[in-house]
């Protein structure tokens, strides 16, 4: 697909037609990784579904609006009647989860036919577009972590790397919890709700290595297999955003709606934590882990989840685990003991 300036003009025109149909675009301002991000919605239906994930990062009312580092235009065709923007033609037999990626600097494009979503970033202009065919048909898990590819590309130029991981801690320091899907990242993060620990995310967060390791929150949404919610966190069932769709979707909880005092924008990183589920034991236990173990828990799942990551991102993750102490957390049946175990680890690290 030829993404010339004329193609981008067609994409922008599709957004403008949607904005006209909606009576104008709305504006939501956020602070992501210390930079201003504007989301301009030409689709009220899409805005209603995507903004809850960013609620904890909303710019405070009354603050002077800085020039945005990134402006994202978002719309759908079904609710606005706007013709879809140009996007790659795909085969009807493409594999589930297929992603078509185009990169000709300064433009990057990702199209996911299974979700019918198109994401485009002009890295030089700091302008992006995100289109979906039908806002009402987007699955809850996708709404819980919107514009992932755009943020992934944009954060790289700001010294951040979006990774597949969770993060909990305090203003003085926290842990990056890493592992493949089903390893216990979300279990550890959600076990820390209603404790003294802050929550920065349970699926995707942004990390920086320099000048010192830190984490920036992207989403306040948490995702768990429905069976795990019923078994491990039944008290969260009334708080789920999609309790009526657990037969076909992962459970989604917007933490900021129910635990606003625990969501945070950022904190320094003190360690990397690799959870290991040990149902036969009761109390959680911390043990030192090798950097190779931490890297193996972090890197493959990040590359798989984010599709367009490569050698540069692997090098950054290698540098991160080299800068931080690494530990394994054996997760036993007593989940209520996890917060105190993490607090004790952070206290020990501060004293070293």
Indicate whether 120 and 170 sit together in one domain: no
Indicate whether 136 and 40 sit together in one domain: yes
Domain that holds residue 26: 5-156
Q: Quick one: CA torsion of 211, 212, 216, 222, rounded to 10 degrees?
A: 150
Number of domains in the chain: 2
Does the pLDDT value for residue 266 go beyond 70?
Answer: yes
Q: Which two tokens stand for residue 81?
A: 């009647």
Indicate whether 276 and 183 sit together in one domain: yes
Indicate whether 110 and 236 sit together in one domain: no
| Confidence tier at 2 by pLDDT (50, 70, 90) | low
Indicate whether 82 and 197 sit together in one domain: no
Does the pLDDT value for residue 4 go beyond 70?
Answer: no
Indicate whether 136 and 174 sit together in one domain: no
* Stretch 73-82: mean pLDDT: 95
Of 187, 177, 218, 185, which Cα lies nearest the Cα of 326? 177
Task: Give the pLDDT of residue 92.
Answer: 72
Indicate whether 138 and 174 sit together in one domain: no
Does the pLDDT value for residue 33 go beyond 70?
Answer: yes
φ, ψ of residue 7 in degrees (nearest 5): -65, -45
Indicate whether 145 and 256 sit together in one domain: no
The predicted-structure confidence for 215-235, as pLDDT tens digits, reads as follows: 999 999 999 999 999 999 999
* Stretch 232-246: mean pLDDT: 94
Does the pLDDT value for residue 168 go beyond 80?
Answer: yes
Indicate whether 124 and 86 sit together in one domain: yes
Looking at every residue in the chain, the average pLDDT score rounds to: 93
Alpha-carbon gap, residue 57 to 65, rounded angstroms = 14
Task: Give the pLDDT of residue 146.
Answer: 97
Pick the more confident residue, 320 or 67.
320
170 forms bridges with which residues in the sheet?
A: 173
Indicate whether 10 and 151 sit together in one domain: yes
Of 132, 156, 180, the position where a domain reaches its end is 156
Task: Give the pLDDT of residue 61.
Answer: 67
Of 104, 129, 156, the position where a domain reaches its end is 156
Indicate whether 143 and 195 sit together in one domain: no
Backbone dihedral region for residue 5 (phi beyond 0: left; psi -120 to 50: alpha; all else: beta):
alpha
Alpha-carbon gap, residue 181 to 289, rounded angstroms = 19
* Stretch 54-61: mean pLDDT: 90
The predicted-structure confidence for 277-304, as pLDDT tens digits, reads as follows: 888 889 999 999 999 999 999 999 999 8
Q: Check which CATH number belongs to the domain holding 249 and give it.
A: 3.40.50
Of 139, 156, 173, the position where a domain reaches its end is 156
Indicate whether 152 and 165 sit together in one domain: no
* Stretch 314-329: mean pLDDT: 97
């Amino acid at each position: 697909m030829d993404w010339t300036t004329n193609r981008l003009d067609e994409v922008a025109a599709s957004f403008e037609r949607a904005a006209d149909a909606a009576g104008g675009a709305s504006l939501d301002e956020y602070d992501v990784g210390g930079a201003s991000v504007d989301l301009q919605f030409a689709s009220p239906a899409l805005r209603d579904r995507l903004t809850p994930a960013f609620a904890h990062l909303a710019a405070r009312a009354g603050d002077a609006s800085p020039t945005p580092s990134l402006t994202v235009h978002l719309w759908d065709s079904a609710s606005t009647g706007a013709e879809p923007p140009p996007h790659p033609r795909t085969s009807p037999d493409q594999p589930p989860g297929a992603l078509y990626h185009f990169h000709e600097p300064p433009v990057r494009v990702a199209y996911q036919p299974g979700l019918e979503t198109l994401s485009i970033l002009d890295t030089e202009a700091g302008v992006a577009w995100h289109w979906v065919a039908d806002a009402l048909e987007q699955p809850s898990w996708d709404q819980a972590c919107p514009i992932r590819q755009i943020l992934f590309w944009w954060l790289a130029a700001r010294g951040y790397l979006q990774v597949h991981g969770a993060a909990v801690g305090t203003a003085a320091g926290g842990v990056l919890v890493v592992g493949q899907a089903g390893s216990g990242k979300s279990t550890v993060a959600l076990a820390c709700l209603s404790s003294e620990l802050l929550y920065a995310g349970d699926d995707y967060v942004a990390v920086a290595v320099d000048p010192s390791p830190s984490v920036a929150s992207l989403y306040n949404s948490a995702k768990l297999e429905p069976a795990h919610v019923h078994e491990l966190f039944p008290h969260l069932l009334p708080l789920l955003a999609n309790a009526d769709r657990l037969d076909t979707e992962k459970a989604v909880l917007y933490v900021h709606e129910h635990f606003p005092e625990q969501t945070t924008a950022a904190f320094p990183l003190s360690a990397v934590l690799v959870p290991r589920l040990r149902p036969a034991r009761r109390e959680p236990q911390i043990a030192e882990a090798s950097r190779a173990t931490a890297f193996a828990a972090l890197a493959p799942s990040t590359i798989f989840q984010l599709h367009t990551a490569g050698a540069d991102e692997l090098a950054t993750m290698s540098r991160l685990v080299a800068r931080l102490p690494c530990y394994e957390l054996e997760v036993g049946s007593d989940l209520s003991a996890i917060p105190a175990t993490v607090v004790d680890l952070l206290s020990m690290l501060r004293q070293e």
